Structure formats: structure tokens, C-alpha cells
């Protein structure tokens, strides 16, 4: 087998795992970096082994290398390894045991407080701080940074899972971390070595033609493609011994009731209490 | 020179470019993927050459491989190549010529409309749609996806720059793209081959100890380290023939006045008009 043929096989395998054999998009150029990105799976079980020395600094260097709006750098990250603190976070997140198991738990902060301290020291009021725009910039830039850290971690053989459930109780998260006003834990990230028992396949996603549009937004065949994806997710769930929900049922379960929001329907008032007026 | 020594040199070079020689963090494990992440720089000048066939699908496959909250997949992306449309986006963004130059302009959408259509077809009202939490999930998941696409593009020798200025006028962006209610262009992304004249160095970031905390948020030496970073950014600006602002002056220029927000101080009402009540 030539190298080019081997590379084509890797690519078609990666696309088949991500989309199912019947929905492979006509992807073009490919390489090892893209293989790494395609192989992502969230892992919810960890061995206790610590991450190697200097890993945290490597991940943060990757994170800081992501773009940041106008170089404002309106995010921070807190590395948590203390078992008692991780247990408290697991509880906030509805008893997600992997937060206790993982050796390194990163809480990513939207952080306008550093810029505010700069303004205070320079005697300048930063008029843009109270606006939704500025909060959104901080949350988005934290996400860009965290995703780079995730890619770096996975390239080192580590596994990860994002923990949006930090937003179940951002006030308690702020208390546990001693956060100043103008900062908020936007999400957490477990980092560690996967417990082999927690291994699962790459999760299929919606067909590209439902997510990617050209020139204008234009829905076509969405119901048909959703049905195809429901079947794909059903087969995936059976193979991985997960609850046998279709995507349709999963979306309805997560989005139809306020109780499924686990308190996050209060986020708007909580964000204000944490020092983001989101005007 | 042995391979290990060569790899160590690559690592220390990458860290010196990102942090300046006096603020190199004690990073640990390293590899080619991390080198790629570290080498990111935003590029604001493009050659007209189109991207190779299938590149768009490769980038979107990488994007869809990023984590998405509860697999809700609340984002979409629109690929724009039409010169007239790119010119209109450049104008919205305050005449950013690189939007016209780049062969591929991606507009990343927070998209709750697909889930809403699902609910409507299934006869279920999705009670969580109007909340700030759900809008935030959509914006964050769009960012995670876009960052994977960015890494994939850069791995293929393409350059990128995020365009937050789509938020200068999200209503006009929605009109240009024919967006339904419950979708919003969160940011754009130029993709293409860098014009050699637009090449610049990796931009230094704040020292790690100002951004990374352990166990709790704890500021120390922030003013001193900010002064060191101001000097680093001053030297960077001189070397790259940019306006010689310190970081401190840059933050003040961008954040001290509402006029510097270019209309984004209205984002809160605009987001509501686009179908996100952000309750």
C-alpha cells in the first residue's frame, strides 16, 4: 500500500466515523493534524495518574496562542487539583464523577476584572465593560482558548470533557475559586488519562448539508437528513451501551422543559450578580 | 544535533516568540501539533488564489468534531465567496479589506432555529430556547467549532483572521445571509493564502502568571508584569511597523469609550430583535 493510499483510507475512516457511511462529505486536503481533530471524543472516566510535569503550562501556552478579540485577553483559567474542591465541583455539576476522577480540572473564566483593574490603576473608566458585547467577547475568547488547550491535550494522549454544568451554580463556583466581580466560570474541562472502561467511539454528528450553507441560509431536506441522523445515533447508542435515544428525542429531553436546565434558566440574573450588567 | 535537542529548540523558540524571552513559562511535553497551535497569527492580507477543492468540507468536518453541549449542535456556518457579498461584509466591519481579499469568508452562526424547527415538526415547544443560557451555549459551541476549523486551515498552510465586527450590525448580516429568526452571525473568519506583504510575527501575550491561577483566583505582581508586557508589545509593534501602543494604551483605546464599540453597545437589543429573548 502506498503512503497516499494509506492516507486516503485514514481520511475515509475518520469521515465515516464522524458522519456515518451514508453521509460522507466530499472533504479535500487532509493531514495528521486534521486526523487528530477528527478523532475527538469526550471522555467521562479517568485513571488517577497525574498529568506529566509542565503539561498545564503547555496547555495554557496553546490556549493563549488562540486569537483574542483586539488582543484584550479577557479570559483566565484556574487549575484545580485539590480533591475536596473537585468533589464540590462534581456536586454542582449533578454528581459528574469524572470531575473527581480527573487529575486536572480547568475552570475557564470570562474575566473582565483584569481589564477593570488596569483601568482603575490608570485612572480611566472603561465604559464598554457593562455591555452584553463585552461579556460575549470574554465568553467566546475563553472558548477559543479552551479549544486550543483541548487539542493540545489530546495530541499528548490525554482525554478531556467540557463541563457546562459549572453554569448550574456560578455563584458557588465563584465562592469556591475566590473570584472577584467581573469574572465568571463559563465552563470546566476535565483533563487526564482515559479509564479504558470509559472508552467509546467517535460520536456521529449531523450531516454537513444541515450545518453548512453557501452564500445564504437555505434549509433543504432537513427532516429527511434528521431521520437519517436519528438512525445513525440510535446505532451508535446501541454499540456503545448508551441510552437508546434518537437525536430528536435527545434534543427534546434537554430543551423542552425548564427543569432540564438545572437552574440555568436563572443565568441572566446570576451573571448580573457576578458583575456583568450585560446592558 | 539529536532529534530531542532539535525539538527542545523548537519549543523554546515558540515560547520565546509567544511570551518574550524574559517570561518563558516552564512548559512540559511538546509535539508538532502544539507547534502548530503556538505558531498562530491573525493575517489581514490575502492573495486572490482560491482554496483547494474540498477544503471547505475538510474544515467543517474538523469544526463538527469539536465538543458541543449535550450534542445539541446549535451552530451553523455559511461559506461566502461572492465578491459583492464579501464587499458588503467588509463595509459592515469598518472597511476591513481582507474580507474582500480572502477567497473564503465563513460566517459562524449561533443557530437555535434548527432545534426550533425540530420542536415544531414534533409538536413540542422547547421551553429553554428563550434563555441567556441557551444563547450562550450556541455562541460558545460556534466558537469551539470555529477554532477547530482555524487549526485545520492553518495546518493546511492557509491563514485566518476572526472578524468580530460582524457584530457591528448583526441585522444587516442577517439580511445579507437570509437568516431565519433564532440565528445570528456571531463572528466571521477570513480563510486564504497570506499575502507575503501581510506577514507578521507571532504576537506576544500576557505572561502566564497573570492568566493562569491555581486552586483559587489570586492576583500578584500584576502591575509589574503588565509593565513588562507593555514593553514587549512596544518592541513587537516597532519590529512589525504597527502603531506603537503599549497593551495598556490599546485596552484603554478599545474599552474606554462607547464610540469604540462601533454600535455594539446596542447588541443586547439587537440580539432580542433577531429572536433571542436572552431571558
Domain assignments of chain A as residue spans, ordered by start: 3-39+203-244, 55-196
Q: Over chain B, what is the mean pLDDT? A: 96
Domain B55-196 class in CATH: alpha beta
Tell me the nearest-neighbour CA distance from B1 into chain A, angstroms: 24
Per residue of chain A (279 residues), give pLDDT as tens. 677 777 788 999 999 999 999 999 999 999 999 999 999 999 999 999 999 999 999 999 999 999 999 999 999 999 999 999 999 999 999 999 999 999 999 999 999 999 999 999 999 999 999 999 999 999 999 999 999 999 999 999 999 999 999 999 999 999 999 999 999 999 999 999 999 999 889 999 999 999 999 999 998 999 999 999 999 999 999 988 887 789 999 999 999 999 999 999 999 999 999 999 999
Nearest to B146 by CA among B172, B110, B170: B110
pLDDT at B1 (0 to 100):
60
Q: In what order do the strands lie in the sheet with B75-80?
A: A212-214, B75-80, B104-111, B183-192, B159-163
Distance CA B122, CA B89 (A): 36
Chain A residue numbers with beta carbons less than 8 Å from the beta carbon of B178 are 216-218
Tell me whether residues A255 and B119 touch, CB distance under 8 A. Answer: yes
Mutate to test the interface with B, among A23, A129, A155, A160 (most CBs of B within 10 A): A155
Indicate yes or no: CB of A254 within 8 angstroms of CB of B124.
no
Pick among B18, B27, B124, B234 to test the A interface (most A CBs inside 10 A): B27
Identify which of B3, B40, B10 has the alpha carbon closest to the alpha carbon of residue B27: B10
Give the neighbor-by-neighbor strand order of the sheet with A159-163.
Answer: A159-163, A183-192, A104-111, A75-80, B212-214
Which residues of chain B have a pLDDT value below 50? none
Q: What is the per-residue pLDDT for B5?
A: 78
Q: Do A52 and B28 touch (CB under 8 A)?
A: yes
* pLDDT tens-digit series, residues A174-209: 999 999 999 999 999 999 999 999 988 999 999 999
Predicted pLDDT at B9: 83
Q: Residues of B with CB below 8 A from A215's CB? A: 78-82, 85, 177
Closest CA to B77 of A6, A216, A37: A216
Q: What is the pLDDT of residue A1?
A: 60
Residue A241: the pLDDT is 81
How many beta-carbon contacts under 8 Å exist across A and B? 391
Cβ-based neighbour number of residue B214 at 10 Å: 12
In angstroms, what separates the C-alpha of B241 from chain A's closest C-alpha?
17
- pLDDT attached to residue B167: 98
What are the residue ranges of helices labelled H in A200-246?
222-239
Asked if this assembly's ipTM is beyond 0.90, the reply is yes
- Nearest-CA neighbor of B277 among A165, A267, A250, A137? A267
Q: Residue A81's closest chain B neighbor by CA?
A: B215
Q: List CB contacts (< 8 A) between A261 and chain B.
A: 128, 131, 133
On whether the pTM is more than 0.95, the answer is yes
Amino acid at each position: 500500500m502506498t503512503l497516499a493510499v494509506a492516507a486516503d483510507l485514514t481520511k475515509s475512516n475518520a469521515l465515516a466515523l464522524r458522519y456515518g457511511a451514508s453521509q460522507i462529505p466530499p472533504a479535500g486536503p487532509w493531514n495528521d493534524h486534521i486526523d487528530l481533530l477528527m478523532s475527538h471524543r469526550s471522555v467521562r472516566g479517568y485513571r488517577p495518574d497525574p498529568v506529566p510535569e509542565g503539561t498545564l503550562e503547555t496547555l495554557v501556552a496553546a490556549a493563549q496562542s488562540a486569537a483574542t478579540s483586539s488582543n484584550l485577553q479577557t479570559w483566565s483559567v484556574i487549575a484545580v487539583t485539590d480533591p475536596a474542591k473537585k468533589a464540590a465541583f462534581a456536586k454542582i455539576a449533578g454528581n459528574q464523577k469524572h470531575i473527581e476522577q480527573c487529575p486536572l480540572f480547568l475552570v475557564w473564566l470570562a474575566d473582565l476584572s483584569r481589564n477593570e483593574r488596569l483601568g482603575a490603576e490608570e485612572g480611566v473608566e472603561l465604559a464598554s465593560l457593562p455591555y452584553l458585547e463585552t461579556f460575549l467577547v470574554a465568553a467566546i475568547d475563553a472558548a477559543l482558548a479552551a479549544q486550543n488547550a483541548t487539542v493540545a491535550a489530546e495530541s499528548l494522549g490525554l482525554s478531556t470533557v467540557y463541563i457546562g454544568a459549572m453554569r448550574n451554580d456560578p455563584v458557588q463556583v465563584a465562592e469556591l475559586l475566590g473570584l472577584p466581580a467581573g469574572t465568571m466560570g463559563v465552563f470546566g474541562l476535565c483533563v487526564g488519562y482515559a479509564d479504558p472502561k470509559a472508552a467509546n467511539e467517535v460520536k456521529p454528528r449531523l450531516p454537513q448539508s444541515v450545518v453548512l450553507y453557501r452564500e445564504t441560509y437555505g434549509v433543504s431536506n432537513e427532516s429527511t437528513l434528521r431521520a437519517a441522523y436519528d438512525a445513525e445515533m440510535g446505532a451508535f447508542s446501541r454499540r456503545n451501551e448508551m441510552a437508546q435515544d434518537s437525536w430528536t428525542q435527545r434534543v427534546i429531553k434537554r430543551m423542552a422543559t425548564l427543569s432540564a436546565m438545572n437552574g440555568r434558566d436563572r443565568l441572566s440574573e446570576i451573571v448580573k450578580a457576578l458583575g456583568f450588567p450585560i446592558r
